[in-house]
Structure 1
Amino acid sequence: MAVTIKDVARQANVAPSTVSRVIADSPRISEKTKKRVRRIMDELGYHPNMNARSLANQTTQALGVIMPSSANKSFQNPFFPEVIRGISSFSHIKDYSLYMSTGETEQEIFEGVVKMVQGKRVDGIVLLYSRVDDPVTKYLVEQEFPFVLIGKPHHISEDITYIDNDNYSAGREVTEYLISLGHRQIAFIGGSPDLMVTKERLAGYREALKLADLPLPDDYIFYMEFDREGGQQAVEQLMSMPEPPTAIVVTDDLMALGVLSTLAESGHMVPDEVSVASFNNVIFSELASPPLTSVDVRIFQLGYEAAKSLIERVEQPHFAPKSIIVPYKIVRRQTCKQIVKDQLCTS
């Protein structure tokens, strides 16, 4: 026979309504009582009826996760499984499930979000990207629907909860690191120019060059897809220039893999001829050949904090929007070297 809420209440010597409040994580119940009731639930093997709870509370106990493109494209990049792992980790603690939506085009992504909101399929939404003049963000603000951005909002940031790194400072710092190694011809390979992460890191790169009184050549800046092919295409063009760069800032590790493989295939030694620094520090960064210098943006923490902030907004709507800046650090490996005179270099 299935264990009921009354069985738990009897064993814990509390009212069934108290057990219900523990299941709902009500602030009216002390932590001591919550721990005791939950322990008894575990001992008895009681599992709350989440559907009944959702109907009673007019909630779904689900969060929407919006990818920036199709699942096929997104999951090729290790950033997205890792950030979803962070989202899932906190959501599991709070008994929320995840409802993912993707689309081949921006219109399909937008339509998927509208279906989530109008169909009351989720209690809140995590956007895994931030884009200039994004219709999804605008729609969610207009609908006053709980959502959190991973990335810096383009506008109205005071009305939006977001989780991000200081990408401007990270872009500047990694460029300054290459400048400190003697590099003066430094290229930049970013994602789409309408993505805020690209804009912020590019702004930091430009500022570092400006402060070092170095030229800002437009032909050294490329906007490509966040995949290996994007990195390959960009570096092919860069290395065919009359004055190719001696160092490259790449805004994504998967793109950087394409850069490294293309440089190797074309006979350019890394880091002896070209230094490469990237972002995200995904699992294969240290396994690359050579191991890749990369900015660790703490991807898991970005996802964890996003889920935590969103559930907070769902359960306590009066809370004001906030921003959380997750710290980063440059992990220096073997793709960057000191330059010697006009050539490249020794350790």
Structure 2
Amino acid sequence: MNVKNDKAINMSRWSRRDFLKLGAAVGVGGVAASLPSVSMADSGSPTVLNYLAWPGNADPYVIGEFEKAHNVKVRIKEYVGGDQMLALLHQAPPGSFDVVMADAEYMHLLKQGDFLQKLNPDDYPLQDFWPEFQKFPLHWFDGDLYSVMTDFGYLGLSYNTELYRPEELESYDVLWDKKAKGQVGFFDFYLPSMGCVSLSAGNTAPFDLSSAQFEALNKKLMSLRGQASGFYTIADIFSSFSNRQASLIPGIGEWITLGLRESGVPVDTVIPKEGGLQWTESMSILKTSPKQDLARKFIQWTTSPRGQVLMATKPDNKKSIPSKAGWELLNKTMPDEAQLLRMQLNAPNVIDEYRSKKIAYRQLPSNQSIEAWNDLWTDFKSA
């Protein structure tokens, strides 16, 4: 696989002051009022689990059975983007959150910030996972487990199927075509967007760039500015495809296009010859959580076969899941969904793509600072 698994990301430059500055930059300086309150009664109550996660992950479809079985209310605080998640954790009083769902590339920073409780691997159904995911490298540090994968997907090139044929999309080069002028949308998150442009530049390890490669990425990215239709939030991506404001968007995937296609929008996603990125979401227990046992049960539920099926088939955000036992249950109980999600056991499926050596992990930059990549992204948007 075109992945750098063995080189630790250099995060020694990050201090608490850096995180607080980051919080101001991403606009969470005033979020204190919206954080979960931590009263004595709340801290001692086993009936409320405070959950920090991407939007939609406390959908009753996913968590309703857990809440009923354990007589608990899962209270979610939503964030958009790992930088905001980090800033929220740094600003929140200890004990504000019990469980955090985070992208795998942020695990180094969460571990460095001493937020995460070490997990006992025997507490979780890792043996049910596909072998490739049983010891996912971004979740283990010095042989210890700190996070459990819940879902994943691939990012490549999403497109309007009425305007483009798959054979036109064999390479990211299509983004620079005259036909695409003013029609290339961008998810306003630097990692997936710049990661796909980095792949297009021939960087098989798209976030591990030398100074010369980073300068080349700068030039290649800036050369796309005239093609751009806009820079979109998650909600805006849906509308931009629906109203044809954008016909090509790099750095997103089936987590968006599957739902749109089911709603009748003519879109699909491909992985061009230069490769794609794997995003990975996982759950961790916060070290300061007063509800360690309940948090553990929540992760166990989410990674159980039934919890995995619900994660995979959530109506507005379908995902691939790492649990082979979850795949088996999905094929038995929801075969049409298994086919749609390409998670059939005896047919070409998403694990085959993982093994194709075309997928790189989405990671934080290795040789430049996060600030340098964010600054380039800001310059690109304002050019």
The answer, yes or no, to whether TM exceeds 0.5 is no
For CA contacts below 8 A with separation 6 or more, give which structure has more relative contact order.
2
Per the normalisation by structure 1, the TM-score is 0.38
